[in-house]
Structure 1
Amino acid sequence: MTSNNGSPTCTTQLSAVSPYLGSRVFTLRFTSTTRGARLARRLVAVRLDEWGVPYGTGAHDTVVLVAAELTANAVRHGHVPGRDFHLSLRVTDGPPPVARIEVSDTRAERVPPRPGQLTGPGPELADGGRGLLLVDGLAERWGWCPRLGAPGKTVWAECALT
C-alpha cells in the first residue's frame, strides 16, 4: 500500500530480521505517554550507535530528533486511551545510507498535513506546533499513510546518514 502523497511503500509490518541485505531493523511498541516517547527516543539513539552511527554526529542527532518529534506527535495527537504506538527504525547501507523512522498510532481521523502544505505556527502556537516543521527541515523526505492491518496512521521520515 502506498500513501496518498506519492510516498514509497509504507512498511509498518517489519520483523526483527530484515529480508534486505545491508539493512538493520528495530521495531517496538510503546505506551502512548510522554514516558513512552522518551524511551523510544533513547532506544533509537542507542540502536543507531550500536549500528555504527555514533553519538554526537550530525546524522545521529538528526535521526534522534526526527524520531523524538514523530513519537511526541503520536502521543500528543494520535493518543487513544489504552492503545500504544509503534516505532520502526530501519537503517540501510545505501548508497546513500538512509535511516527510515516510522511511527504508527491508532487515531485515523487526526492526520498531519501533506509535505509541502506546512505553514509556520501562528502566535497561538508560540510554545509548540513546530514538530513537523522540524521534520520537514531535517528529513530528506517524509509523509504519512493509513496504518496497515489496524486503525490509525503511520507517519514516516527518511534521513540521510552522510
Structure 2
Amino acid sequence: MITPSPTTSPALIPASAPAHHFRIQLSSTRRGARLARLLVEQQLEEWGIPRTVPVTRALVAITAELAANAVTHGRTPGRDFEVRLSLTATQVRVEVSDTRPDRLLPLPDGTTAATSPPPDTAANGRGLLLVDAFATHWGCEPRNKFVKTVWAEVSL
C-alpha cells in the first residue's frame, strides 16, 4: 500500500476537475516498453504530480512491468501495444493493452502470478507481485476478441 505524502493528496486535483486522459500506441519492443514508462512519468508531471512522489514512482513501476509483459508475453508480430492513463480527483489508472487475449489472468486454476510466486531460484516471474504491492486495485480483462487489457489503479 502506498502511503500518501502531503504533495500527493487529492487536493492536487480539485474534486470538480474533469478527469484527464492520455493514450499512446507503441511498438511491441523493449524500446516501446521503455518509452511507455518515460511517457507516463512525463504525463503525470504535466498533470501536476511530480516525478519524486510515491504515487508517480508506483505508477512508473507498474507501467514498466505491464509494458514489459505486453512486449514479452503479449506480443503478436506486427502489432503494437497501447498505454492509457486516466486521472481523477482520487486515483490514477494505467491500462496496457496487448494483442494476446488468450493469455488472461487469473490463470485457469484460479490463481494469479501475484498469488503464486515463482520458486526462489527463478530468474523472473515476480513482476505482477510488484503490481499487486503498488496498486490499490488491478486486474485483467478482454477488450475484444483480439485484445486484452491489464489495468492498475493507484489512489492519490
TM-score by length of 2: 0.81
Q: Which runs of 4+ in 1 moved over 4 A?
A: none
Q: Distance in 2 between matches of 1:140 and 1:33?
A: 28
- Percent of aligned positions that are identical: 47
Q: Determine helix, strand or coil for the equivalent of 2:149.
A: strand
Q: Determine the structure 2 residue equivalent to 1:157.
A: 152
Q: Does 1:104 align with 2:100?
A: no
CA deviation after TM superposition for structure 1 residue 112, in Å: 2.9
Q: Determine the structure 1 residue equivalent to 2:130.
A: 134
Larger radius of gyration: 2
Q: Determine helix, strand or coil for the equivalent of 1:147.
A: strand
Aligned residues between the structures: 137
Q: Distance in 2 between matches of 1:76 and 1:158?
A: 22
**Unaligned ranges ≥5, structure 2:** 1-15
Q: Determine the structure 2 residue equivalent to 1:7.
A: none
**Conserved in 1, the CA contact under 8 Å of 2:83 and 2:94?**
yes
Q: CA RMSD in A?
A: 1.9
CA deviation after TM superposition for structure 1 residue 121, in Å: 1.1
TM-score by length of 1: 0.79
**Conserved in 1, the CA contact under 8 Å of 2:96 and 2:149?**
yes
Q: Distance in 2 between matches of 1:92 and 1:116?
A: 30
Out of 120, 132, 139, the position equivalent to 2:117 is 120
**Unaligned ranges ≥5, structure 1:** 1-19
Q: Determine the structure 2 residue equivalent to 1:39.
A: 35
- Matched to 2:32, the amino acid is G
CA deviation after TM superposition for structure 1 residue 147, in Å: 1.5
